[in-house]
Amino acid sequence: MTLHLLVLWMALVGAVRLDLSGGALPVVLSPYLVLTPLVIGALVTRRLMQARPVRIEWSALGYLLLVSLFFTAVGASTFVSVDADATLARGALLVLQFGGATAVALLLHDDEPAVDALRRGAMLGVAVFAVLDVMAVLAFLGVLPEELSLLGATLRLDSYGYAGIIPRLSGAAIDPNNAALLLLVYAYLAPRTRALAVLLLLATLSRSGVLAALAVGAVSAWQFGVAHRRISAVRALAVVAVAVLTLGLAVRSSTLLETAGRMAAPFAERIGLGEGEGSASDHQALIVRAADEGSRSLTRAALGVGWGAAYVVLQDMFPGNRYGNFHSLYGTAFAEAGVVAFVVVLLLFFLPLGRATPWRPAVAGFIVFNMFYQATTEPVFWLLLALAWVVGDRARGASPGVAA
C-alpha cells in the first residue's frame, strides 16, 4: 500500500491544475498537499514495521544546516520587507514545499523498493501529462471547456498561448516552465518514458527547460560514459543516410520549406537569445535589476527587500501584478533575502555537483534552470536536491537505475 501511494504521489506531485476543494478554499488544494502527509505517515510506518531507522549521513546534516541558514535569511527579510504579509505567506509556502519533499527524500533514500516506486510514479506522471496535454489542446480549440468539475474537484484545462496559434502545453502544471522542470525530473527518473517526456518538454516551449535538459544530458554523458559507448558503423551510416535523404527531399520542395518555416517561426523566436528576441533580453534586464535592488544599501544587501515581495519594486516592469519577480533564483535570493541566502543557494547547488552520485546530472540541470527561472515552489526540486545531498557513498558512480 505504501509503495502504491508513493507512485500516486510522484505522478501528481506537480498537479496544481487539480483543485480538490473545487475552489472552496482560498488556496488550491492540490494532490501534493493532501497526499504528502499520507505518504510520510506510510513511509514512517513501513520503517517501523521493518525495524529500519532512518540513516542520516553527515552530508544530510550539512544539507539541513545550509537550508536552515537559508530559511533564517528568508525569515529575517520579513523585518525589512516592503510587503511583510506577502513575505510571511510566501515564506510559509516555501517551507511547506521544502518540508514535505525533504521528509519523503529522507525516508526513502536508502529504500530501494521505495525509490523504484518513485520511478514508476514518474512513468505514470508522464502518462498523466500526455493525457492532460491532449485535453488542453481540445480546450484550446474550443472542443472542451476550460474547466471541468467532478465530485467537488475542479480541473483547469486552460493553457498559455504563444503567437496566438500555439498553446504552450503544461500537462499537470499550469506554468509551462514548472511543467518543463517536472518533465525533466520525470525523464531522468524513468528511462522507459524518457523519449515521450522530452517531447512533452519541448511542447512547453520553455527555454529554461530545454537548457536544463541539455545540461542534464551533458553531465550524464560525462558521468555515466554515454558519450564513450561504441556505436556500430552500420547504425551510424544508417542515421547519416536518413538525415541526408530527409534534407535532400526538404530542399527540393519549396512548399515544404515555406510550410516548415511558418510552423517553426514561433519556436525559433522562443529559442532566440539575441537582443530583443523573445523574452531573453527581459530576463537579462531582470538579473541586472536584481543586482541593483539588492545592493542599494547595506541593509538591502544583508536582508533584501523581503522574500516574495519583489513585485513591489518591479511595478514599472509588471504593473499591477502581485507575482512579478526577478525570474532567476540567484537574483531572487540576493535581492529578496540578502547575500547570505545567495551564498547558501550557491553552496546547495555546487557542493553536491562535486559528488559522483546518481543525482549529480539533475543538480546540473537545476543550476541551469534557475538561471532564468526559480524552482523553489516545486516539490520535485527539493526532492531531488535532498536526494543529491543525503544519498550514501554506496551509490556513488551508479546510474539512476542502479541507485533506484
Identify the three-state secondary structure at position 210: helix
Instruction: Let me know if residue 89 belongs to a domain.
Output: yes
The b-or-e profile of 340-378 (16+ CB within 10 A means b, else e) is bbbbbbeebbebbeebebbbbbbbbbbbbbbbbbbbbbb
Give the pLDDT confidence score for residue 263 in this predicted structure.
Answer: 44
Tell me the average pLDDT of the chain.
Answer: 84
Reported as a single tens digit per residue, the pLDDT across 34-90 is 999 999 999 999 998 988 888 777 888 999 999 999 999 999 999 999 999 999 999
Residue at grid coordinates 518514458: 193
Instruction: Let me know if residue 272 belongs to a domain.
Output: no
Reported as a single tens digit per residue, the pLDDT across 267-288 is 444 444 433 344 556 777 888 8
Torsional sign, CA 14, 15, 21, 26: positive
Reported as a single tens digit per residue, the pLDDT across 330-368 is 999 999 999 999 999 999 999 998 888 889 999 999 999
Instruction: Let me know if residue 262 belongs to a domain.
Output: no
AA identity, residue 168 = R
Total number of domains constituting the chain: 1
Give the pLDDT confidence score for residue 234 in this predicted structure.
Answer: 59
Instruction: Let me know if residue 278 belongs to a domain.
Output: no
Instruction: Let me know if residue 275 belongs to a domain.
Output: no
Instruction: Let me know if residue 248 belongs to a domain.
Output: no
The residue segments making up the domain with residue 289 are 2-233+284-403
Instruction: Let me know if residue 256 belongs to a domain.
Output: no
Instruction: Let me know if residue 258 belongs to a domain.
Output: no
Residue 232 in this model has a pLDDT that exceeds 80: no
